[in-house]
Amino acid sequence: MCTGKYGDVPRMPVFPPGKGPEVFKGTVMHSLDYCKLSEEETVELMRGKKVVVVGYKKSAIDLANECAQANQGEGGQACTMLVRTLHWVVPSYSIWGLPFSMFYSTRLSQLFYERPRVSKFIESYLSWKLPLGKYGLTPDHPFVEDYASCQMAILPEGFFDMADRGLVRFKRASTGWCFSENGVVLDDGTKVEADLVFLATGFEGKEKLREVLPKPFRDLVVGKSSMMPLYRGTIHPLIPNMAFVGFVESVSNLHTSELRCRWLSGLLEGRFELPSVKAMMGHVAGEADAMRRTTRFYRRHCISTYSIHDSDGMCADLGSATLRKANWIAELFAPYNNKDYKEQ
C-alpha cells in the first residue's frame, strides 16, 4: 500500500451543537479542497475577503501567504491565522551561516540529538532572525521536538514582511474556538469576522488505512504506542502479506520511501527473511521509546533524528554496505543524503 498519510481524508474539527460551520454565513473549506483549485480560482476566491486560516503548519502558512498576496493593493483584507499549537518555523536551510544538515544529518550529530545544546543553538538563531517574540509565536518546547516529529516548516519568502504590512495577523486559540454567524469566536470571547474560513487542520492518515484494510485488521492500525507498528517502517508484524510504503516520515520523504521500496524488493526476492513477530514488535517498541523520549509529538512516526541508523538496518538486511562515505572523517562529519544510497 502506497497511500501515504496526507490527502483524501481531512481531519475536521468537532464542535458542540450550534457552534459548528452550519451557523456560519460564509464559506468553509479544508486545505484539501483548496489544493484542487487553479491559481486564478484561488485569487478570485480570496481577493477582498476577510479570511481566517485555522492552523500553523506548512499548509496553513502557505495558504495565509497566498491569501496576503491576493489581497495586496486597494480593497485588500487582512488574513487572520488561528494558532492553536505553536511550532518552530525556519526561514531557510541555513543556521548562523551553517548548512542545516550539519546539525541533524551526520552520524556524529545523530548520536547527540537528545542533548539540548544543538536545539538551543538553532532556537537562538530563529529568535534573532524571525519576529517570533513580536507576534507571540515563540514555542515553549525545544526545536528538536518539531524536527523529531517532522513538523518543521520552511517559511515562504517574505512571509513576515506580509505580517509587518498588516496583511497577515495572528490570534492564539490555544484553548479552542467555534463558529458564529459572522466568523469565529475564541474561547476567551474574542470575535474574528470572516467571509471565508480555511481549515488547515491536517489529515486522518490512520483513518484512511482503516477504510482500505479488511475488517479483521482495522483495529491493528494503532498499537500500544498510539502509532502504527511498522517494522523497518514497512511491515506490520500482525498483518500478513501486506506492506506499507510512505507512512513513516522523515525530512526527506522521497528518499525514505525509495529506500523502503528497495528493501521491500529485496524481501520479495528472498534476499533476506523477516525476524519473528516477537522480534519485530520489540524492534518497533524500541523505536517508539526513542521517539517518545525526544518529542511530545511522537505519534507522528517520524524518523528524522535517527534516519541514518534506520537506513543502516535496511542496508544490512540487503547485504549492502552500511558505511557509505569515502573515509571515517566524512563518515562522522559529512551529512548523509539520498546520493549516499545510490545503487552501485
Residue 233 has pLDDT above 80, yes or no: yes
Q: Which of 305, 336, 342 is nearest to 320 (CA)?
A: 342
How far is Cα of residue 97 from the mean position of the Cα atoms in its chain?
A: 25
331 or 75: which carries more pLDDT confidence?
Answer: 331
Q: Choose which CATH entry (3.40.30.10, 3.50.50.60, 1.10.10.10, 3.40.50.300) describes domain 21-91+130-199.
A: 3.50.50.60
* Domain range list for the chain: 21-91+130-199, 213-336
- In the chain, which ranges are continuous DSSP H helix? 31-34, 39-46, 58-70, 101-104, 107-111, 116-129, 143-147, 159-164, 205-212, 253-268, 277-294, 307-318, 328-333
Residue 155 pLDDT > 70: yes
CB-CB contact of 335 with 99 (8 Å): yes
Q: Of the ranges 35-39, 221-225, 302-306, which one carries the lowest mean pLDDT score?
A: 221-225
Whether residue 344 has pLDDT greater than 70: no
Position 207 scores a pLDDT of 85
DSSP 335: P
User: Is the pLDDT score of 115 beyond 80?
Assistant: no
Q: What is the pLDDT of residue 299?
A: 83
pLDDT, average across residues 320-333: 94
Q: What is the third-level CATH fold of 213-336?
A: FAD/NAD(P)-binding domain (3.50.50)
**Residue 16 pLDDT greater than 90, yes or no:** yes
Question: Shortest CA distance to 81 belongs to which of 197, 164, 222, 235?
Answer: 197
* pLDDT at residue 204, rounded to an integer: 86
Spacing of C-alpha 43 from chain mean position: 26
What's this model's pTM, rounded to 2 decimal places? 0.90
Taking only the tens place, the pLDDT of each residue in 117-147 is: 899 999 999 999 999 999 999 999 999 999 9
pLDDT in tens, 186-231: 999 999 999 999 999 998 888 888 888 888 898 888 877 778 899 9
The mean predicted confidence, pLDDT, of the chain is 92
Q: How confident is the model at residue 298 (pLDDT cuts 50, 70, 90)?
A: confident
What confidence category does residue 2 fall into, taking pLDDT thresholds of 50, 70 and 90?
A: confident
Q: Which three cell numbers stand for residue 12?
A: 475536521
Q: Which of 60, 113, 246 is nearest to 122 (CA)?
A: 113
- Is pLDDT larger for residue 31 or for residue 116? 31
The stretch 307-331 carries a mean pLDDT of 95
Give yes or no on whether 21-91+130-199 and 213-336 have one common fold.
yes
